[in-house]
Amino acid sequence: MNKTRTLAISDIHGCAEQLKRLLAKCRFDARCDRLVLLGDYVDRGPGSRQAVALVRRLVRESGAIALQGNHDRRFVRVMQGRAHPAEILKFFEKGGAEAIGSYLGAGHASRIVPERVSEYRARIMAGCEDHIRFLEHLPYYYEDDHFIYVHAGLNPEIQDWRQQSVMDYLFIREAFYKHPVTAGKTVVFGHTKAIELHDKPDVWFGGDKIGIDGGCSYGYQLNALEIVDGAVTRVYVEPGTRTSRAAAGRRSR
Ligand SMILES: [Mn+2]
CA dist 196 and 213 (Å) reads 10
Which residues keep their CB under 5 angstroms from ion ligand 1?
40, 69-70, 191
DSSP per-residue codes, 182-250: -SSSEEEE-SS-HHHHHSSSSPEE-SSEEE---BGGGTSEEEEEEEETTEEEEEEEEE--HHHHHHHHH
Å from CA of 76 to ligand 1 middle: 14
H helix runs in the chain, sequence order: 16-25, 48-62, 70-79, 85-93, 96-104, 117-136, 166-171, 174-177, 194-198, 242-252
| Amino acid of residue 38 | L
Quick check: 194 and 212 in contact, CB under 8 A? Answer: yes
Å from CA of 239 to ligand 1 middle: 19
Å from CA of 172 to ligand 1 middle: 9
0.85 surpassed by pTM: yes
Domain ranges of the chain: 5-249
Å from CA of 32 to ligand 1 middle: 28
Quick check: 73 and 40 in contact, CB under 8 A? Answer: no
Å from CA of 4 to ligand 1 middle: 28
CA dist 7 and 62 (Å) reads 13
CATH number of 5-249: 3.60.21.10
Q: What is the pLDDT of residue 107?
A: 61
Å from CA of 70 to ligand 1 middle: 5
SS3 105: coil
Å from CA of 13 to ligand 1 middle: 9
Å from CA of 100 to ligand 1 middle: 18
Distance from the Cα of residue 204 to its chain's centroid: 16
Å from CA of 36 to ligand 1 middle: 15
Å from CA of 90 to ligand 1 middle: 13
CA distances from 117 to 54, 80, 127 (A): 25, 11, 15
Per-residue pLDDT of the chain (253 residues; tens, 9 = 90+): 578 999 999 999 999 999 999 999 999 999 999 999 999 999 999 999 999 999 999 999 999 999 999 999 999 999 999 999 999 999 999 999 999 999 998 666 668 999 999 999 999 999 999 999 999 999 999 999 999 999 999 999 999 999 999 999 999 999 999 999 989 999 999 999 999 999 999 999 999 999 999 999 999 999 999 999 999 999 999 999 755 444 444 444 3
Q: What is the pLDDT of residue 76?
A: 98
